[in-house]
Amino acid sequence: MDELLSELGTLIKKCIKAVNNRKRQLLILLYILSGILAGMGAIIMTDLGQVFGISKSTVLWYFRNSSFILFASFLFLVGAFLLAIKHKLQARKSMVFLAVAWLLAVLTSKYMTPYLMFRTQQENAEYISIKEAKGYLKNEDRVLVVDYNGVQRAYPPETIWQAHILGGDFNGKEVIFTYCVMTNLASPFLNDLNGEKVNFKVLAQTNNNLLIWDTKSDEVIQQITQQCEFSGTQLEPIPVLEMTWAGYKKLFPSGTVLFNTWNDPIEIMISSLFSTEETWHSSKWMFNTANLDDKRLPEKEHIIGIRDPYANKQLALTKDYIKSAGILNLTVGDKFLTLAYFPEYETIMAFDRYKDGIDLVVEQIDPLGNTPEYGLLKRAYIYNSALWAVWAYYYPNSEVLK
């Protein structure tokens, strides 16, 4: 009898141990599921995603389903905590640690990129006059320029890329200037998306280009395609110029310039880790997700890009090609443009040569668009100094003039 009771006791102990093991296994499984769901966003929605080559479709999928994913992660975490507490499977201190880690992962996925790393200045961008900017820039420094509705503003790429998105009033018209440092591309837009005001934030980078998030509509815009990812709406950018600071002061003496002291702790940290010179000119890529197979031009050639999104036609030109010609009359899809190089201002500009139903042949034009034969022509948007390998990724069928 004693021997039987002993064997029964041993069996009960084994059963209890097996049950406890299963409970621990379940606890571990719940933590793993919660951690995967919480941590995936911290990778997908930050620059880590580009290190691992996460695709745009994955970024957009996570963005659209993040509330459900994080709620499921929360439920798994709560379930794990309840199981651990009920069966005394874990110390409270370690549970607190896991809760903090989970919270950090969630905050990273939702807030790191748009609210901490790249804090836009749509509402608080500061502009100063050329006179006030004395000593702020060197004459040879490059600036991106918007000349719109009687207002001229210069944006120095070296000090705008951390914000990426900047707002400003142009005589009653609000313009949102977007800039992607990886593509070296500026695309300004009117603050109007389907008749509504927007609040733009940086959502992520995909294939070395900016994904813009409108927090009001939850629409996402690919900057280089200028297209809304969910509605398919094609945005119309405002023309942007590139010239030296000396050229800008000469051409637009009453203009202003974006002022950024670049002393914010986040800016200091990023600039210590990140080199714009390397990004724009070296053979290295921070994220190897550009089209490096198309050798028609050097990978980081700063090209002038033209596209007709409705006719699906694209053209890339080298600056040397345009400079040697001086003036070019081009047709890309249904766009009829004149490109002109103005050496005195060190800039290339584009103008719409389709006027009154006629595609004009322009032989002379000034930087403001005045022609002796046809009067004033409107400026046209061109992709000004975009890096070739990024352009070639998004527009692999682009024609090239070099």
Assess whether pLDDT exceeds 70 at residue 11.
no
Contact at 8 Å (CB) between 364 and 372? yes
What Å distances lie between residue 106 and 37, 74, 99, 115, 186, CA to CA?
9, 10, 11, 13, 31
Domain range list for the chain: 2-116, 118-282, 290-402
Picking from 135, 134, 221, 137, the residue whose alpha carbon sits closest to that of residue 176 is 221
Picking from 159, 348, 336, the residue whose alpha carbon sits closest to that of residue 241 is 348
Tell me the mean pLDDT in the region 364-383: 96
pLDDT, tens digit, 9 for 90 and up, residues 95-151? 999 999 999 999 999 999 999 889 999 999 999 999 999 999 999 999 999 999 999
Q: What is the mean pLDDT of the chain?
A: 92
Contact at 8 Å (CB) between 186 and 240? yes
pLDDT of residue 301: 97
Give the range among 39-43, 75-79, 166-170, 261-265 with minimum mean pLDDT: 261-265
pLDDT of residue 271: 79
pLDDT, tens digit, 9 for 90 and up, residues 76-89? 999 999 999 988 88
DSSP string computed for 1-34: -HHHHHHHHHHHHHHHHHHHHHHHHHHHHHHHHH
- Give 3's pLDDT tier (boundaries 50, 70, 90): low
Tell me the mean pLDDT in the region 63-75: 96
pLDDT, tens digit, 9 for 90 and up, residues 210-249? 999 999 999 999 999 999 999 999 999 999 999 999 999 9
Cross-strand pairs, 305: 316, 383
The whole-model pTM stands at 0.90
- Give 184's pLDDT tier (boundaries 50, 70, 90): very high
Contact at 8 Å (CB) between 252 and 147? yes
Contacts 24+ apart (CB under 8 A), 83-87: 83/23, 83/26, 83/27, 83/30, 84/27, 87/20, 87/23
In the structure, how many helices (H) and strands (E) does the chain have? 10, 23
Assess whether pLDDT exceeds 70 at residue 9.
no
pLDDT of residue 120: 94
Assess whether pLDDT exceeds 50 at residue 336.
yes
